[in-house]
Structure 1
Amino acid sequence: MFDWTQRLTRWQLGLIIGGFCLSLGLWFWLGWLQLHRFQIKTPSQTTSTSITPTPSPTPDPLAPINVALLGFGGGSHQGGLLTDTIIVAKIKPKLHQVLLISIPRDLWVEIPEASLSAKINSAYALGFDTRRHLDQITGGKLAKTTLGQVLNQPIAYYAAVSFSSFENAIDSLGGVTLKVPMSFTDEFYPIEGKETESCDKSEAEIAALSATLSGFSLEKQFGCRYEKLEFTAGTQTLDAAAALKFVRSRHSDTAGNDFNRSLRQQALIQGIVQKLLTPSVWPKLPKLASQILKSLDSDITADQIGQWLLTFPNPQQYKLHSFNFNLENSLVASHSADGQYILVPKPELGWSGLQQIVSDWEMAIATQASQASQASQSAIQSGI
């Protein structure tokens, strides 16, 4: 039987670095197995008369790594591959930091490979649209390229997972404890399987409503399709179903926009990190991995994860920091040519200004870490 306790340090490493997203954290588990299942062989040296080529610069193994974390609804319904959750996780080993940058799904962007402009949450889905004949351009590559343009930073990897497998995995964890940022009520959370219920309305009544109403105003007339959600601010322990509703809720009068959803998604991620660091959970990880892998799409290889596990130092010291684009700091609401609600950079900022805001935030976080480190060293030297 596998002895988890003897691998504490490496598991903490894998979970601290990868645990910010459950799917990525479990992907680390596969990398660990890959690393330890096979013996690494070094090719024997041979005599060569050829000219020794100039060696290429060795990449810095502790350089920052950007990973796109994507969550999609899945299923056979229309829009199942649209990514409701879009987070760029920047792992900074030298500073022992993981920076989480939430991207609102309604952000209007250019997707050059697809020769169109669209909401950023469609970039991943476009890679699966056979009508566009994008050849070898996958959904993950489209998402990485598009996010890289938004942030003006290269996105090295991506990990995409469906919410259904995410829910099953959280259920196997026994739920998750997290901090609800603010209390809210959502009167219209959709009930799966009841999307087309008539709610005891006759065909004539439905026709009359459809003639005068549209969009969500029309949908609200069919109350049986929805359930009421209530969450109270503070520390809460949620089961899998409640956790998924917590991050996907959209119709609260006080916290229904995508910016608040981003805050809730980050709260869930931090709750999962803490859960995965609980020793009692470790024996469950193989089962969790099998559940996540049913719908996980990623270009992170087991060999790459093995290298990360060997390279990243001091997992206990890693801290998570979160950033959200919103209407206060960088964005403005608008409408596309076909009437869609969209978000774009404020005119006075443009894309370069938006990117500078992220850079300034990163610099501030790095400065705080440096100051804290200097203060700690001074305290040690002073014998405090």
Structure 2
Amino acid sequence: MVGDRVAKSGKPKSGRRAPVWARLCAIFGSVLMVVSGGLLVSGQVLYARYAGAVQQKTLFGDPPAGGKPRKVSDIKGPLNILLVGIDPRDANTAPLSDSIIVVHVPPGLKEAYLFSIPRDLLVEIPPFPKTGFNGGTSKINAAMSYGSSVGNGKHDVAQGFDLLAKTVSRLTGIQKFDAGAIINFGGFKKIVDAMGGVTMTIDQDVKSEHLQPDGKPRPRLASCADNHCAHPYYGPQAQYKKGTYHLEGWQALDYVRQRYGLKNSDYDRQRHQQQFIKAMAKQALSANVVTNPAKLDAILRAAGQSLIFDGQGHNVIDWGLALHGINSESMTLVKLPGHSVFNGKAYQGEALDPSAQDFFASVRDDTITSFMVNHPEFINRTS
């Protein structure tokens, strides 16, 4: 069983809006991705407490020498937000970006478009003088690793994010990201549990590469200790069947991370991650979250343990208030067309189809709404 089977539910009742913290927690929160802001509890906005709960670091590099500090101004669209999910790692291990999602918000701040960048996408990673990296072609998920070294074998994920952001900018032509967040997948599970789980539609049968049916790790083959095996685990597998279910935190995280055995591998996983973000947004609008201050406070504490946020001069509350008009129904999930690249039979990575450049141009020009109308094949369906 993947969780309690439920019937497909209708839209949330009108007149009830989720607190901004819960809504933005779902929109930014993951695969994928959980950032939050502003929570109304017992009639009072606990601004200072929530503003300080999430780690805030500089993710987009230091300002130019002698340059002026970042100007703090009203948050106005169009906006581009970069969200990155990483595995739990210590400072002695170079980080890899397991999930990369860009959120585009048009000027009215009433809708959002989410698109994922394949983790194995072959790209040009620019030079990064801080670490002595000279630039070159590699899979995009390595950019954080190339940018993270701070000497003595130590690594800083915030510094690694800077090089990843520069790489995504080079790929998409987006010159500036208005905000960014790093999501630690270990803490992400706690956020989902704090929400009471999440209801979502699973669109294909999936077997877990990593976990047993009870959520415990699958045993690892001794011969695969060097991590060079394609399938290093053995024994019973957790399974996720087509249908609508209420998932616990470990189930949700496990499901959205699977790619082996899927027909379209990482492209299917990207869709599942986007679907899950939308499901989280809907969950945040539900009455059992909206009207439960204790549950909202638990979400806050869990998010504080798993997020690093850079609002480019604005804290997480400011962002929550600015994006309060976005809900699950106003989020469009985008799929970028791509294909695998081989050298003979050896897998090299992924490449995007030329039409993806037209999509990126619509993001830069903020003509994405009309682009999606004219190119419905770019829409990722939620079921």
TM-score by length of 2: 0.68
Q: Is the 8 A contact 1:189 1:250 kept in 2?
A: no
Is 1:262 matched with 2:267?
A: no
Deviates more, 1:150-159 or 1:189-198: 189-198
Which residue is 1:107 aligned to?
121
Q: Distance in 1 between matches of 2:91 and 2:337?
A: 29
Give the 3 Å change call, closer, same or farther, for CA 340–278 of structure 1 in structure 2: same
Is 1:130 matched with 2:180?
A: no
Q: Is the 8 A contact 1:69 1:87 kept in 2?
A: yes
Alpha-carbon RMSD: 4.2
Q: Is the 8 A contact 2:111 2:331 kept in 1?
A: yes
* Structure with the higher helix share, 1 or 2: 1
Give the 3 Å change call, closer, same or farther, for CA 255–367 of structure 1 in structure 2: closer
Q: Distance in 2 between matches of 1:73 and 1:37?
A: 25
Number of aligned residue pairs: give it.
Answer: 318
Q: Percent identity?
A: 21
Q: Is the 8 A contact 2:37 2:316 kept in 1?
A: yes
Which residue is 1:149 aligned to?
170
CA positional deviation for 1:21: 2.6
Q: Distance in 2 between matches of 1:317 and 1:73?
A: 26
Q: Distance in 1 between matches of 2:324 and 2:27?
A: 17
Q: Distance in 2 between matches of 1:357 and 1:26?
A: 26
1:183 to 205, 216, 229: 205
Q: Distance in 1 between matches of 2:278 and 2:311?
A: 22
Paired letter, 2:309: S
Residues 261-304 of structure 1, C-alpha deviation per residue, up to 9 Å, x if partnerless? Answer: 00110111111101111232242122222222223222127844
Structure 1, gaps ≥5 residues long? 1-7, 39-56, 199-205, 370-384
Q: Distance in 2 between matches of 1:110 and 1:296?
A: 27
Which residue is 2:9 aligned to?
none
Give the 3 Å change call, closer, same or farther, for CA 96–79 of structure 1 in structure 2: same
Q: Is the 8 A contact 2:84 2:182 kept in 1?
A: yes
SS of the counterpart of 1:70?
strand
Pairing of 1:331-342 with structure 2 (within 5 A): 331-334=339-342, 341-342=348-349
CA positional deviation for 1:163: 1.0
Residues 184-226 of structure 1, C-alpha deviation per residue, up to 9 Å, x if partnerless? Answer: 335x33567666554xxxxxxx5xx99xxx9435x45x624xx
Is 1:89 matched with 2:103?
A: yes
Give the 3 Å change call, closer, same or farther, for CA 17–359 of structure 1 in structure 2: farther
Give the 3 Å change call, closer, same or farther, for CA 335–65 of structure 1 in structure 2: farther
Paired letter, 2:341: A
Question: Computing the radius of gyration over CA atoms, which structure comes out larger, 1 or 2?
Answer: 1
Q: Distance in 2 between matches of 1:37 and 1:262?
A: 30
Q: Is the 8 A contact 2:77 2:109 kept in 1?
A: no
TM-score by length of 1: 0.68
Residues 70-117 of structure 1, C-alpha deviation per residue, up to 9 Å, x if partnerless? Answer: 111114599772121111011224162111011100011222123233
Q: Distance in 1 between matches of 2:205 and 2:218?
A: 27
Paired letter, 2:47: Q
Pairing of 1:40-55 with structure 2 (within 5 A): none
Residues 136-195 of structure 1, C-alpha deviation per residue, up to 9 Å, x if partnerless? Answer: 981221222111111111222211111111011111211100111223335x33567666
Which residue is 2:249 aligned to?
240
Which residue is 1:168 aligned to?
190
Q: Distance in 1 between matches of 2:328 and 2:257?
A: 31
Q: Is the 8 A contact 1:18 1:28 kept in 2?
A: yes
Which residue is 1:286 aligned to?
297
Give the 3 Å change call, closer, same or farther, for CA 128–33 of structure 1 in structure 2: farther
Pairing of 1:199-218 with structure 2 (within 5 A): 215-216=228-229
